[in-house]
Amino acid sequence: MSTIELSQFIRESAQNLGFSKFGIAPAKTDHQSTIRLNSWLQKGYHSTMYWLEKRADERGDISKYYPEAKSVISLGLNYFTGNTTPDSNVGKISNYAWGDDYHDVIKSRLYQLLGEIKTKYPKINGIACVDTSPIMEKDWAQKAGIGWIGKHTNIITRDYGSWLFLGEILLDVELEFDKPFDDDLCGSCTACLDACPTNAFPEPYVLDASKCISYLTIEHRGDLPTEFEDKLSGWIFGCDICQEVCPWNITFSQLSTENSFQPRENLKERKLEKWEKLTEEEFRILFKKSAVKRTKFVGLKRNIALLEKNSSKNPN
């Protein structure tokens, strides 16, 4: 078994499983990435997402998470199925949550790929990771040559923009490594920073989650801080503003062919008045196997109520 043959087998297997992007990086800790992570945590930009700090050592040093790791395979799956509606009377849900829960879709695909590797090469060991694992996905994607981290802190690619779910497989063997993506193709553009209604970016490439609409509508528990109550811009779950205004997304996004990510019926165009009548039973049925369950029924109703409140104040 040569390193080149093994790497090519994995690349072809990933392509056959429908992955949109693929790259391999050596499992070596980047101390600059660790410093940036620790600085971000020390400034409290993770807000109440305490799990990020609890496993910061592993997140910042891959050898502490999986000591046997020698190669990090980064994979991307295009999930774009269209932009949200500009209709101000619609309760908007982030594109990534229109279909089935991406954790389940990606994890299943990663396990399939890992299974194929181990079937052909039984002596190889590895683990599959999604964003619930303590791993800096976007950093590894950049190191594997998939794309660059944009000013909105998402990975951007030349062929799909930033509409990608990421996943990783860590293996205990060295593979043929791809060149890291060293160019920053954002240039002088600040479209994403300028469009954010809550000024969630204290500086380019840095996100203060406590001000991010996605965090506020999904992860934040209880009442929202007063200063953000009227700044949700129609969103009841997540937010795509910084991605929708990105020139790379406007020009290069491609519609996903993944059936699992296609919008559930009446989800994109559902009016606020209909959302206001949502019952807990309907919530369970509508969002079965959906990422929207993350915010729970009470959280979604809170977001809907705030939009209703603000739309009545500003009927036009």
CA 19/CA 6 separation, integer angstroms? 18
Which pair of tokens denotes residue 175?
């593979």
Q: Which of 57, 87, 101, 131 is catalytic?
A: 131
Q: Is 208 a catalytic residue?
A: no
Q: What is the dihedral of CA 136, 300, 213, 85, to 10 degrees?
A: 110
Strand, helix or coil for residue 282: helix
Burial 288-305 (b: 16+ CB within 10 A, else e): eebbbbbbebebbbbbbe
Q: Is the dihedral of CA 63, 137, 185, 242 positive or negative?
A: negative
Which pair of tokens denotes residue 201?
């970016």
Q: 41, exposed or middle or buried, with CB in 10 Å at 0-12, 13-18, 19+?
A: middle
Q: Which residues are catalytic?
A: 131
